[in-house]
Structure 1
Amino acid sequence: MMKINDSIEKRKNLPMYVLLHLSFLSPSNTKSFVAVFTFIMLDLSLLPLLYPKVNIINLISIPLIVIAHLWAIRLLFKNPYSTQFETILFMGVNGVIGAICYFLLIQKTAYFNLGIEAVSYYVISTLIFIGVFVGFVFYQTKKYANIEDKISKNKKKNQNAKYAAVIAIFPALGYSVSQLAMDQSDLIMYGVMYFVFWIFVVLMIYFAARFLHQYVYMKLNMRFVIFENPGKKEMKQADAEGKGYIIK
């Protein structure tokens, strides 16, 4: 399903959205992507996630956050031309880590701040979390499957699946809305935060599904993959410093 049929021989025969999926992040922007994704988007969850302390949440989240930060620091010090595939894998894995951290933050907010104690809520919200993940993976897989058939039939892409996963979170959100009936400013504030954390969960899941699929898709279709190469100025500078470029 993920490997492009041998009947398609040239890159120019592929749809533009497929070519984009077979392309690397621009090396000039790689470090910015890594820094923003890790030290802003992921780290926004740190303070409310780790304080007040909840042992089980810290036990799960701290190792994941440490892995994400160590990997990000490594990429920031590496030549971006030598980490083109690794950066895509990093973005996907970091999406998984971010989705888990923000989901844990949702559950922490629901229990400690919104006072939701019903076991059914935690079961349903977890199933929805898994369902959204599966939905985005299915969307990515379907979007890039059977490319040769889509080219020959010239079908329009169906975008509805993109929004189905987002819509799926609202049954769980509805439970928190009912908790806001009381006129308490703190409860309203935490309710708003709860909604925002769900938005981050969906965003992180999208990044995870998108980049992990892209990583595997590119590996399976290497004949269509073109690595980004440094310019002449960068090559001359590297030669002057006695350094070479490893492109991978």
Structure 2
Amino acid sequence: MKIDPETRYEDLALYVKDHLEFIYVGDVKWSVAVLVLIIYDAPLLLGFSMLLKIELLWIVLPFVLIIHLWWIRLMIKNPYSTQLEVILFMGVWGALGGISLFITLVWVIFHVLQITSTVFYIIIAIVTIVLVYILVKYQLHKYSGDPIKERKESNQYKYMGLVTASPGIGYLFYVLIEKNTMLEDIISMVSIYFFAIICSYTAAKFLHRYFFMKANMKYVIYQPHGNKKKEKLIKQGVEIK
């Protein structure tokens, strides 16, 4: 993960430079809002609407509070002063979002469909854990090579996550259909699982990106890129970090 300090920034491969870049500050606030309100809140509320049990709220409440309070902080702060923090937020958001959405899915299946088979939950859990492992392994593999050599995208790693998720989604479809579940409920539950996978992918990508940047701060370039703009912001009391 640590780049040889003797390596010049200009010599780094393009994919490594991309991994060391921040999200454009002009897009940060709406991007984070989409993550929280659409990719996380929407499927979470979908699960609540199917169940309407207060017990589920207490289980996922810590996850919800951390995500939303942190999101509000980022919305209030100047985006130039939270550039590295946003990378960490997206990674933590993905981890907490994936866990809480998976809990919501299991809770909905157990209480709505009343599936009590231990084997079913073990299979879904194992498939999900393997999927997360592959996503993490992909990130580690991608940046473990020579940072100055361009690399070709490996389809083996690129699509293995989808291949691994397919048995879990397929098995979920099979059980739901066997239970004579309504089509709307099937779509809703598969959607919750799909968004949980998206959260997991985001967690693997941005947590790795955060620690990769922390280990190679020499090569990290804060926005704005122009010195005049930076000096102007500093004079205004904005801490660029």
TM-score normalised by L of structure 1: 0.86
Inter-CA distance 181–156: structure 2 relative to 1 (3 Å threshold): closer
Letter in 1 for 2:74: L
- CA separation in 1, counterparts of 2:174 and 2:152? 40
- Identify if the C-alpha distance between structure 1 residues 182 and 216 changes in structure 2 by more than 3 Å, giving closer, same or farther: closer
What are the ranges of 5 or more consecutive residues in structure 1 without an aligned counterpart? none
Pair 20,173 (structure 1): closer, same or farther in 2 beyond 3 Å: same
Q: Assess, with a 3 A threshold, how the Cα gap between structure 1 residues 215 and 189 changes in structure 2: closer, same or farther.
A: same
Per mean C-alpha deviation after superposition, the further-off stretch among 93-102 and 44-53 is 44-53
Corresponding residue number in structure 2 for 1:97 = 96
- SS at 1:169 equivalent: helix
Q: 1:177 aligns with which of 164, 173, 189?
A: 173
How far did 1:63 drift? 0.9
Q: Distance in 2 between matches of 1:155 and 1:67?
A: 37
Residue 85 of structure 1 corresponds to which residue in structure 2?
Answer: 84
Percent of aligned pairs with the same residue? 35
Distance of 1:116 and 1:24 partners within structure 2: 44
Asked if structure 2 preserves the Cα contact closer than 8 Å seen for 1:114 and 1:190, the reply is no
Q: Match for residue 214 of structure 1?
A: 209
| Alpha-carbon distance in structure 2 between the residues aligned to 1:223 and 1:213 | 17
Structure 2 match to 1:188 = 183
* 1:31 counterpart residue number: 29
Distance 1:201 1:235 in 2: 42
Segment of structure 1 superposing worse, 111-120 or 216-225: 111-120
The structure-2 alpha-carbon separation of the partners of 1:236 and 1:142, relative to structure 1 and needing over 3 Å to count, comes to closer
Paired position in structure 1 for 2:223: 228
Distance in 2 between the 1:39 and 1:11 partners? Answer: 37
Query: What is the number of equivalent residue pairs in this alignment?
Result: 238
Q: Distance in 1 between matches of 2:20 and 2:182?
A: 46
**Runs of 5+ unmatched residues, structure 2:** none
| Shift in Å, 1:38 | 1.0
2:52 is matched with 52
| Aligned CA-pair RMSD | 2.5
Match of 2:141 in 1: 142
Match of 1:247?
Answer: 240
Q: Are the aligned partners of 2:22 and 2:222 in contact in 1 as well (CA < 8 Å)?
A: yes
Give 1:121-140 correspondences, 5 Å limit.
121-140=120-139
With 125-134 and 15-24 compared, the bigger mean Cα shift is at 125-134
Name the counterpart of 1:204: 199
Question: Equivalences for 1:15-26 in 2 at 5 Å?
Answer: 15-26=13-24
Query: CA offsets, 1:155-196, max 9 Å, x none?
Result: 533232122122212222233332354695x52221122222
Structure 1 outlier segments of 4+, above 6 Å:
none
